[in-house]
Chain A
Amino acid sequence: MSDLPPIPWESPINKSRSLKMKRAGMVIDLRRCIGCHACSVACKTENEVPLGHFRNRVRYLEQPDVETLSFLPLLCMHCQDAPCLKACPTQAPTRLSDGRVVINQDKCCGMKACISACPYGAIYIDDTSGRADKCDLCTHRTSLDLKPACVASCPTQTLRYGDLGDPEDPVAKYAKEHNAKPFKEDADTHPSILYIQQEKWMEKAAATGVQLSSEDNEIIYEQNGRSS
């Protein structure tokens, strides 16, 4: 009888929180995405995100020249040059040591300057608190060396969390090997979320970003500006 494999979830969880990475980030390999929404629902369950808002949402995009669709998971890009940081007069958005951008609820007075500044629609106002909130790369998990909820839930390894500031990090290597690039590179905010095989037309098709726009009702396919 061979030994049974070790039990991964019982490996001791770090009791003291710390952020060890140089530049926390993610690579999203669109070749693998199947549009299952596991990331987005895991995020909402984990973070108890209220109905009507998303920290992470999968967009369904009709491709411009073929009859099939593309899937595009969008979330806060944790920009290295983050417009929300500059826009907020009360310094509620803060950068933590590994580069992630978080919103300190204590400092937020709900004036929405960050929301207007964000090119990715990543920020929403929590209706109960009246304060801004968004993806913080599951700091309560990642500071214990657990993966963010969305990454832990992705069934096809589309989302990969790692240290983009460490050339030896497997995710950084993967990003380099596959020429991962920011979404909406022209916004010039230097995101720490990078995409493999994103295409230019997606920027227009998913222009409203993470949050629901007034026309969005559900995941119905977005038609890339077609007349239908």
Chain B
Amino acid sequence: MKQSNDNKQNESKLSRRDFLKLGGALTIGVASVGLAAPLFRPLSGEQTQQDLNKFISTRKKDFVDYTRARAIPTICFGCTNHCGVIGWVQDGKVRRIEGNPLDPNSLGNTCSKTHGMISYTYYPERLLYPIKRVGKRGEGKWRRISWQEAIQEVGDRLKTCRESGHPERFIFHYGRDKTKGFTKRFTNAFGTPNRLNRRAICSSNRRVPLMSYYGRDFEWETQDMENTKYILNFGSNPMEAYQGGLYMMHRIQKARVDNGAKMVSFEVRPTATVNCSEEYFKVMPGSDGAIGFAMANVIIDEGLVDKAFWERWANISLAEIKEHIKDWTPEHAEKLSGVPAKDIRRIAIEFAKAAPHCTTMTARGSAKHYNGTQGDRGLRMLDVLVGNVGRKGGLCLTSGRMWGGGKYGQDGLPSVSQPKPKPPKPKAFTPGTAAYEDLPDDIKAKVARLDPQWQKKYQGELATPAEYPLSWHWYGMKVGQLVQPYIREGRAKVDVYMSYTYGAAYGYPEAKVCREVLLDEKLVPFHVAIDIDYSEHAALADMILPEATSLERWDPHSTNCYGLVPYTGIRQPLVKPLGEAREIQVIFRDLARHIGGGMEQYFDYENVEDFYKEWYKNVSAKIPGGWEEFKRRGIWQDPDRAKDYELYERPVPEKELLGSTVDPETGVISNTIKGKKRTVGIMMPNPETGEMEAVRGFPTPSRKIQVYDPVFPLAAKSAGLPEGDPNGNALPTLFTIPGFDELKEDDMILTTFKWNVHTQGRSSQWEFHAEIVHTNQLFINTRTAQKMGLKTGDEVEVTVQRPRGLTYRGGINEVVGVVRNRVHLLDGVHERVVCFAHAGGHWEHGAVARAENRESLPIKEPDSGLKKDFSNEIWWSKERGGTGNGAPMNDVLPINPSPLVGGQNWFDNICQIRKIS
């Protein structure tokens, strides 16, 4: 699979950079045409004011009048970033959103998606009343019911389930839950471990290497972008779609444009990040790891390793790693990836020489493959080799989760913790428990094969799938795409299925499986959906409860800060919920009271604000003016706190050393904290004096960076992988995706991506965003397409093959599905890749998302708060000669969890393209 990376691209880049360097000099003495004296004649003062007043008076009467609109800070909910924003409220309506300059992550910046909050709050087809189905499930016939009736029916069903002794048969399945543990409070109080998520769809494969190396995922690694000089980007797209993207994009652009930083991107298509890179290399999907191992070899061979750092912090010797990776050379990587060996060599050297002001950036592009977890472990090694970890301009780790409980990196921060009493965690399914005895025999056998540490934590196949122990070893990432298939197989039983802002019936791989299961009333006797709009998933419910939007409700906020000083923020209601929509905190409070049996004690509040005031009491105590001042600012950050550089070198606090023990062999310091034995640090020689000191280290079992991690072979054995399978290697390992080594001439790889104006298949009803992108045509390399006789706009048929490999396979058919779509030719796409965006082809979410000039909301009553109907303005509808909204492509992507970890291998799809004449 040879490919050419055009030299001309590098030459051109060089000339552009040279131009930039000369830019300042060139302007000297050159009369700048644009800045010549004004050509118009300034008018006199009185005339000026008259003209302005006249123009303002002829503007639409309802423009945002900032002389009387009120500005209230809150937290954005447009994507996963959750930036601090300011909402301008006029006449009881949110009219405008801008960035909150006090947010140390966004620094007051926002992207287009923040305006989506206005779209979804005032969308003409928003759900405003509880509704109950009257026809068959999925038929789309509904009647409006009262909240009393809704709480009564859902509450009764939940109560029966809970009192039956099988609380685990209540499944709570969510798409976007940023309540920071509030919904978990409900499921814990109920007693079910089945609070299921979509982490496997998103990021498991790139979180596992992070947790394995550094002990936690810290939300993400946090690159010190504003101080970096060199960014190696493997399939990450912060300029467009990445978690943390907004926080990174302005810092990266400053680093590049103002400080001369260089970014090199390895990708399959020209993403926004690629377009902002100094160099772009097209890579064969699934080969990023090969480049990482090759670069590691170069860095070692060239003597560019930061030996002091490696020897101090890596848990394996450099000699052993060198021996382990020696065959994975740049030439080998060229064969797999198509990136020239000479470029791999050159870039590895440039990267290492920029240390510590250099960093890697990995994401779905590198990780969402069958071999992606091990590949990312290889890429992670680069940072350790050059010693940029935790250093200025390097790859930093900063604590982002809700503060408190002695978590790593949070020393000195006020505890931010849910109000007491807190419900206990659901119990493990150990032999003798009703939940365990309810398991099918073949599942019991799988559980028996698990390592004892995991048997003790096992909570059923939905929350803790036995074949994917690494999806729940560090914390409950789970394997969301297996929930419906496992229910179909009888691995778990369901009494009540509650979905919460969820789009699996549209957006998941092989979404048709999800729909089939949801339509089967034997498998799913009752489905209640909580949502803000009529999604494909909610359309398959028995009842839908309308939720307040992010502009109408409370949520705590905390994430990793790219300014490297932890902060917290609060989402607060700017306006009252429209219609009869209710906050999740009110819905759950009322359900808990109805269910009773002790649940109600955890929801003992009348006013939702009081609950969050209590939650934030320790932060409020730090602020002059307390809670009211916190709400007025929306954000709090300790102004005196130092940046989170080199957390691992910080001393262990005295109080944690009192009564501690030190392992004589490893130097690991342990202590009993809150009744649990934990490691708190490691004895290390002072670099100058050589004297042994107690420092924090990393929150791993060895308190070092675990380049070598025995958890992988343990997991492989527990999951029943064959001996020697590379997924279970304790050292980072290179291998190819099954089937990729025998690709036929016309086999292509189908990959997906996300546009900058969309978010997780839940934004296609935002009118201004859908107007910019409403389809999902297939992007294909120009030369490849021309060989096939294709031109832009041609329709093709895509046949997707079922992947091989030792993981879940949704059937024996070799073909997952066939779909038709249009192609768009683009030079920057990899020669063997076709890619499409995850936003097209909706059949629900209303007229805008469907690009049809008719409404779909089953119950709609006039409400003055909503926008007028768009149904006559959708110029891209097919009726008006447009292209419509694209093809629902997710049905043909196979459910394909990666071994042990369960992360969806989005980009391993071998397919064939055929022109339809």
Instruction: Sort A-B residue pairs by CB-CB distance and give the 5 closest, nearest first.
Output: A97-B48, A155-B109, A80-B39, A41-B112, A67-B828
Given A40-B112, A153-B110, A179-B26, are A68 and B240 also a contact pair (CB < 8 Å)? no
Please state if B55 and A32 are interface contacts (CB–CB under 8 Å).
no
Of the listed stretches A15-23, A112-120, A203-211, name the one at the interface; the rest are far from the partner chain.
A15-23
B600 to chain A minimum Cβ distance, whole angstroms, is 38
Chain-A contact segment, one of B228-236, B680-688, B871-879: B871-879
Assess the A175–B40 pair: CB atoms within 8 A.
Answer: no
What 0/1 readout, one digit per residue, does chain B (586-630) give for beta carbons within 8 Å of chain A? 000000000000000000000000000000000000111000010
Q: Is A168 interfacial (CB-CB < 8 Å)? A: no
Q: Is B66 touching A144 in the complex (CB atoms < 8 A)?
A: yes
Q: DSSP majority for the A interface?
A: loop
Contacts of B106 on A, CB cut-off 8 Å?
155
Given the interface pairs A66-B12, A165-B38, A172-B35, the reply to whether A38 lies near B110 with Cβ below 8 Å is: yes
The closest CB in chain B to the CB of A27 belongs to B34
* Residues from chain B with Cβ under 8 Å of A221 in the complex: 824, 826
Kindly provide the distance from the CB of A159 to the nearest chain B CB, expressed in whole angstroms.
12
Contact of B58 among A38, A95, A97, A104 (CB under 8 A): A104
Q: Which residue, of B32, B240, B282, has the highest number of chain A Cβ atoms within 10 A? A: B32
Instruction: With A81-B39, A99-B40, A140-B56 as known contacts, state yes or no: A218 contacts B828, CB within 8 Å.
Output: no
Q: State the Cβ distance, A113 to closest chain B Cβ, in Å.
A: 19
List 29 A-B pairs, Cβ < 8 Å: A4-B639, A17-B56, A31-B20, A31-B256, A36-B272, A37-B756, A44-B115, A44-B768, A46-B64, A52-B873, A66-B13, A67-B9, A67-B270, A67-B827, A97-B51, A136-B59, A139-B56, A139-B59, A140-B66, A146-B66, A149-B96, A156-B249, A156-B253, A177-B27, A218-B876, A220-B777, A228-B785, A228-B786, A228-B825
Query: Please, how many angstroms separate the alpha-carbon atoms of A13 and B69 in the complex?
Result: 10
Determine the residue in chain A with the shortest Cβ distance to B883. Answer: A217
CB atoms of B63 and A99 under 8 A apart: no
Task: Tell me, in angstroms, the Cα distance from A34 to B271 when the chains sit together.
Answer: 10
- Asked if B769 and A217 sit within 8 Å, CB to CB, the answer is no
Residues in chain B near residue A153, CB distance under 8 A: 98-99, 110, 112
The listed residue (B34, B98, B769) touching A182 by CB distance below 8 A is: B34
**Which residues does chain B contribute within 8 Å of A41, judged by CB atoms?**
112, 115, 757, 768-769, 772
**B35 to A194, Cβ gap below 8 A?**
yes
Closest to B875 in A: A52
Whether B86 is near chain A, meaning CB under 8 Å from some CB there, is: yes
| Distance, CA A65 to CA B48, complexed state (A) | 48
Interface residues of A in 139-156 (CB under 8 A from B): 139-141, 143-144, 146, 149, 152-156
Identity of the chain A residue whose Cβ is nearest the Cβ of B274 in the assembled complex:
A68
Cα-based distance from A154 to B99 in the complex (angstroms): 10
Task: Report if B428 contacts A (CB, 8 A).
Answer: no
- Residue in B closest to A65 when the chains form the complex, CB atoms: B12
Interface centre among A2, A31, A45 (most CB of B within 10 A): A45
Q: In the complex, given contacts A22-B38, A94-B51, what are 15 additional A-B residue pairs having Cβ atoms less than 8 angstroms apart?
A: A34-B275, A38-B111, A45-B97, A52-B873, A68-B274, A70-B275, A94-B55, A106-B58, A136-B55, A155-B110, A178-B24, A181-B34, A182-B34, A223-B792, A228-B825
What's the nearest-Cβ distance from chain B to residue A79, in Å? 9
B88: nearest chain-A partner, CB-CB? A9
Q: How far is the CB of A13 from chain B (nearest CB, A)?
A: 6
Residue of A with least CB distance to B59: A140
With an 8 A cutoff between CB atoms, is B49 at the interface?
A: yes
Interchain nearest-CB distance for B634 vs A (Å) = 9
A35 part of interface (Cβ distance < 8 Å) = yes
Contacts of A152 in B (CB 8 A): 98-99
Contact of B824 among A38, A42, A194, A220 (CB under 8 A): A220
Q: What's the Cα separation between A81 and B52 when bound, in Å?
A: 20
A5, CB-defined interface residue at 8 Å? yes
User: Please, how many angstroms separate the alpha-carbon atoms of A125 and B267 in the complex?
Assistant: 41
What A residues does B276 contact at CB under 8 A?
Answer: 34
**Could you give, for residues 236-258 of chain B, a 1 whenever the CB lies within 8 Å of some chain A CB and a 0 otherwise?**
00011000001001100100110
A186 to chain B, nearest CB (A): 11
Chain B nearest Cβ from A99, distance in angstroms: 6
Using A7-B102, A37-B756, A52-B873 as known contacts, say yes or no to A99 and B38 having CB atoms under 8 A apart: yes
The answer for the CA separation of A14 and B68 in the assembled complex, in Å, is 11
Bitwise interface map of A from 168 to 196 toward B, beta carbon under 8 Å scored 1, else 0: 00001001111111100100001100100
- Across the interface, A50 reaches (CB within 8 A) one of B26, B109, B873, namely B873
Whether B66 lies near A13 (C-beta < 8 A) is yes
Bound together, the chains give a CA A105 to CA B56 distance in angstroms of 10
Alpha-carbon gap, A5 to B68, bound state (A): 24
What CA separation (Å) do A217 and B42 show in the bound complex? 41
Q: Is B421 an interface residue (CB 8 A)?
A: no
Q: For A22, give the chain B residue with the smallest CB separation.
A: B38
Residues of B within 8 Å of A111, CB to CB, are none
Which single residue of chain A is at the shortest CB-CB distance from B848?
A51
Question: What chain B residues lie within 8 Å of A104 (beta carbons)?
Answer: 54-55, 58
Q: Which of B8, B34, B73 contacts A191 (CB 8 A)?
A: B34
Shortest distance between the CB of A170 and any CB in chain B (Å): 13
Whether B40 pairs with A19 at a CB distance below 8 angstroms is no
Interface residues of A in 62-82 (CB under 8 A from B): 62-63, 65-71, 80-81
- A177's partner among B24, B36, B640 (CB-CB below 8 A) is B24
Beyond A155-B246, A180-B32, A228-B785, whether A67 also contacts B280 by CB under 8 A is: yes
- CB proximity of B325 to chain A, nearest CB, Å: 31
Decide if B30 is an interface residue (CB 8 Å cutoff): yes
| CB atoms of A15 and B67 under 8 A apart | yes
Q: Which residues of B contact A88 (CB under 8 A)?
A: none
Q: B23 interface residue, CB < 8 Å from A?
A: yes
Q: How far apart sit A161 and B831, CA to CA, in the bound complex (Å)?
A: 42
Asked whether A176 lies within 8 Å of B639 as measured between CB atoms, the reply is no
Q: Which of A17, A140, A156 contacts B63 (CB 8 A)?
A: A140
List the B residue with the shortest CB-CB distance to A157.
B250
* CA of A30 to CA of B773, assembled, Å: 22
Instruction: Let me know if B96 and A46 touch, CB within 8 A.
Output: yes
Binary CB contact string for chain B from 501 to 530 against chain A (1 if under 8 A, 0 otherwise) = 000000000000000000000000000000
Q: Which residues of B contact A157 (CB under 8 A)?
A: 250, 253
The answer to whether the Cβ of B53 comes within 8 Å of any Cβ in the partner chain is yes
Q: Are A2 and B640 in contact (CB under 8 A)?
A: yes
Contact A140 B64 (CB under 8 A): yes
B43 at the interface (CB under 8 A from A): yes
A109 neighbours in B (Cβ, 8 Å): none
Q: Which residues of A contact B60 (CB under 8 A)?
A: 48
Q: Is the CB–CB distance between B249 and A68 below 8 Å?
A: no
Residue of A nearest to B119 (CB): A45
Contact, CB under 8 Å: B53 / A179: no
Q: With contacts A155-B111, A156-B250, A176-B32 known, is A69 near B275, CB below 8 A?
A: yes
Picked from A22, A95, A180, the residue with its CB within 8 Å of the CB of B34 is A180
- Return chain A residues, CB-CB under 8 Å to B249: 34, 36, 155-156
| In the complex, per-residue mask of B87-111: 1 if CB is within 8 Å of any chain A CB, else 0 | 0000000001111111000101111
Task: State in angstroms the CA–CA spacing of A197 and B21 once bound together.
Answer: 12
- Complex Cα gap A97–B826 (Å): 46
Question: Which of A51, A99, A181, A223 is B873 in contact with, Cβ under 8 Å?
Answer: A51
User: Given A41-B115, A62-B827, A106-B58, are A80 and B40 neighbors across the interface (CB < 8 Å)?
Assistant: yes
- CB contacts (< 8 Å) of A179 on chain B: these are 23, 26-27, 30, 32
Interface membership of B204, Cβ < 8 A: no
Contacting pair A96 B270 (CB below 8 A)? no
* Least distance between B588 CB and chain A CB atoms (Å): 32
> Are A67 and B64 interface neighbours, CB within 8 A?
no
Give residues 458-503 of B contacting A (CB, 8 Å). none
B792 surroundings in chain A (CB, below 8 A): 223, 228
Closest chain-A Cβ to B43's Cβ sits at a distance in Å of 5
Q: Does B56 lie within 8 Å of A218, measured CB to CB?
A: no
Verify B52–A67 contact, CB threshold 8 A.
no
Encode contact with B along A89-113: 1 for CB under 8 Å, 0 otherwise: 0000011110100101110000000
